[in-house]
Structure 1
Amino acid sequence: MPHVKPRQIVIDTDPGIDDAIGILLALASPEFSIAGVTTVAGNIGIDTTTRNAGRLLAFAGRHDIPVVTGAAAPLSRPGPEPLNLHGKDGIGGVALPAPVRQPENQPAVEWLAELLLKEPAGAVDVFALGPLTNIAHLVLDKPDAAKRIGRIIAMGGVVYEPGNVGPRSEFNLWADPEAADVVLSSGLPLVLVPLDVTRRVRATRDFTATLSASGKPLASMVADLIESYFETSTHQESRPLHDPCVMLFALAPELFRLEDLRLSVSTGPAEEAGALTIGERGTPVQVATSVDGPAALDLLARTLTSF
């Protein structure tokens, strides 16, 4: 089989337990070359999300990958309260080393723009695991650079099912609906991976036991992170792995069904903020609408236990 050059990616993230799992999956995947990790406030404040990104890279021994601090607040409205689901430290209290490398001095949008302008057009993909604030700032402030993104794969939104922070809203889009509106209406190549899909990639305690039994450090850490989810819940037999679905889609798009939908984002009051509507006035977006959940979990386990 011919050698395939790894795809260059930037992970835009607000770690977050499931963000952390997605980052570790990307680190374990030879298909990706991670140019940097940009952070955004979301699950918890920007200082903590930035520190958590550095801690994850320190754990994996990847001091070569820069962490770049991004937006501390949404484009035009107050930021959400931190999610108790992820604990005070954002990653469920799981033990990680302190960051070895300090965050870059440059703001995330400037750093990302420089990277995109330096690399060939279309050569860098963005994996968006949190609110879309950084990418919206890039679109608004550095449009020539934004147009050079190969593809954005974003975990966010809900299409046909109930939301998780409102009747029709998912957290990432709800946290900064104006940013989501900017990104979706920009016309940039975008694949949206909504709750309709991510709720079907569910880890059980048997799954975490398999990861732990492998003895592989990244797999064991992911098992600990998933177990921390169980510890914050009661009477739950499984937990959805939302953000890792971005990496899983990039690795094996054949496991997902894509629909071309015309979507618009509500920027209204809190209850409707971030809600997606299908209609002729919307922007064409590729949306993952179903997934082979067991196969996706198997791919996650195989990747982590082979690293």
Structure 2
Amino acid sequence: MRQKIIMDVDTGIDDSLGLLYILASPEAELVGIASTAGNVPTPQVAANNLALLELCRAPEIEVALGAEAPLAIPLRTTEDTHGPQGIGYAEFPPPTRRLSDRSAAQLWVDLVRAHPGEIVGLCTGPLTNLALALRIEPRLPELLGRLVVMGGAFNHPGNTTPTNEWNVHVDPEAWHEVFAAFRAAPADRRPLVCGLNITETIEMFPEHLTRLAERAESLPAHEVSEHDAPGTRSKASNPVVRFLTDAVRFYFEFHRQYDQGYLAHMHDPFAAAVALDPGLARTRAATVDVELGGTLTRGATVADWAGMWGREPNADIVVGTDPAVFFDRLIERVGDFARTVYPA
């Protein structure tokens, strides 16, 4: 029996790799995609999701349009990080698939009510849609099988402000509401939180793309080098590999621009892998809340590891993993998937 997954994404270069990881995993059944504003505005996110499904020749999967703004503050997007369409240098034709008639929040509610205890929620963007779904159905923490989120920074600098991770920064009120809602969750249903303290150790380099292309039997396999001219486009024979190469190249260039090296942090694919196999992660329980009032720290995720607040843990924070094992799985799954969808 395959694991049912709802993905809530702000696609996004690394979100697109997270979606590909789930689509490429035989043990996963993607039952719905909620589009949320974050890396780019909601309509662009939804268009990216529909177009990616078409590129992957995926079966019909419901894609719902989410909220176009955070709960309490104006939307901030990050095209400088992910490109004007959110997918780096890659380009999609306008999708022919249609959006769902129901909202992303209603999609969450309807699916977990229809499949109580069977669905893993995987969120790789701001939690606006999930917070709105909780307002409709407060029992959602009991109805979900598990929640896996990418967001926050624990004992680690932020990537948006000195204390803030991007997904939380976009809508801190939503994250506060979600963590509050899961206070009553039993230990085996606490959210698994993949923060920057771990995801910034998941570093993709050009050789990872070469291995993936070789696995997909796509030519030329060796395409990306830090010595290439910025914006060089892929000539890969496999369309999935070509998309990935053009998307991730932009991410490599962004990270180099900020003196992090010619690499890309694969935040969201790692969360996707953990959603299917929590054994990839070493975790530590904590009580997590989000700072909403600090002049310098608004949007910071605060973990009470020692129980000083006197509240039960409401999250399992990922504190360790083996990046090499993750990349082996990513390359194997997505490479095989690309070769199957587009045989050489």
TM-score tier after normalising by the smaller chain length: over 0.9
Structure 2 counterpart of 1:228: 250
The amino acid across from 1:166 in the alignment is T
Query: Mean alpha-carbon deviation: is it higher for 266-275 or for 57-66?
Result: 266-275
For the residue of structure 1 that corresponds to 2:331, the secondary structure is: helix
CA distance in 1, matches of 2:213, 2:204: 13
Match in the other structure for 1:27: 23
Is the aligned partner of 1:72 residue 2:76?
A: no
Quick one: distance in 2 between partners of 1:146 and 1:54?
28
**Secondary structure of 1:137's aligned partner:** helix
Structure 1 residue 146, shift from structure 2 partner:
5.0
Measured after TM superposition, the shift of residue 163 of structure 1 is 0.5
Query: Aligned letter for 1:48?
Result: Q
Supply the distance in 1 between the matched residues of 2:331 and 2:127 (Cα, whole angstroms).
28
1:98 is aligned to 2:81: no
Which residue of 1 is the match for residue 208 of structure 2? 207
- One-letter amino acid matched to 1:58: E
TM-score, with structure 2 as normaliser: 0.83
1:35 alignment partner AA: V
Partner residue of 2:177 out of 173, 182, 190:
182
- Partner of residue 82, structure 1: 78
Query: C-alpha separation between the residues in 1 aligned to 2:70 and 2:133?
Result: 13
Q: Which residue of 2 aligns with 1:113?
A: 109
- Equivalence map 1:45-56=2 (5 Å): 45-56=41-52
Residue identity in the other structure for 2:24: A
**Which residue of the partner structure matches residue 303 of structure 1?**
333
**Which sits farther off after the overlay, 76-85 or 256-265?**
76-85
**CA-to-partner distance for each residue in 1:112-147, whole Å, 9 max, x for gaps?**
21112122x211111001000111111122223453
| Cα distance per residue 1:239-267 (max 9 Å; x no partner) | 11011111111233333210001111111
Unaligned runs of 5+ in 1: none
2:228 maps to none
CA–CA separation in structure 2 for the residues paired with 1:250 and 1:77: 29
Please say if residues 200 and 267 of structure 2, whose CA atoms lie closer than 8 Å, have aligned partners that are also in contact.
yes
Match of 1:277 in 2: 302
Structure with bigger strand share is 1
Task: Please give the per-residue CA displacement for 1:155-189, whole angstroms capped at 9, x wherever unaligned.
Answer: 00000110001122100011111100011111243
For 1:135 and 1:128, locate their aligned partners in 2 and report how far apart those are by CA, in whole Å. 9
Q: CA RMSD in A?
A: 1.8
Kept after mapping to 2: 8 A contact 1:45/1:82 = no
Structure 2: gaps (5+ residues): 219-237, 338-344
Q: Return the letter of the residue paired with 1:89.
A: Q
Shift of 1:200: 0.8
Q: How many Å separate the matches in 2 of 1:211 and 1:25?
A: 12
Q: TM-score, normalised by structure 1?
A: 0.93
- Which has the higher mean CA deviation after the structures are superposed, 54-63 or 156-165? 54-63
> Per the alignment, in what secondary structure is the counterpart of residue 314 of structure 2?
strand
Deviation string 1:185-204 (CA, Å, 9 cap, x unpaired) is 11243110000111111110
SS of alignment partner, residue 186 of structure 1: helix
Shift of residue 205, structure 1, vs aligned partner: 0.8
Identity, % of aligned pairs?
A: 29
The answer to whether 1:148 aligns with 2:170 is no
Distance 2:295 2:264 in 1: 26
| Paired residue type of 1:117 | R
Confirm whether residue 291 of structure 1 aligns to residue 316 of structure 2: no
Q: Aligned partners of 2:75 and 2:131: how far apart in 1?
A: 15
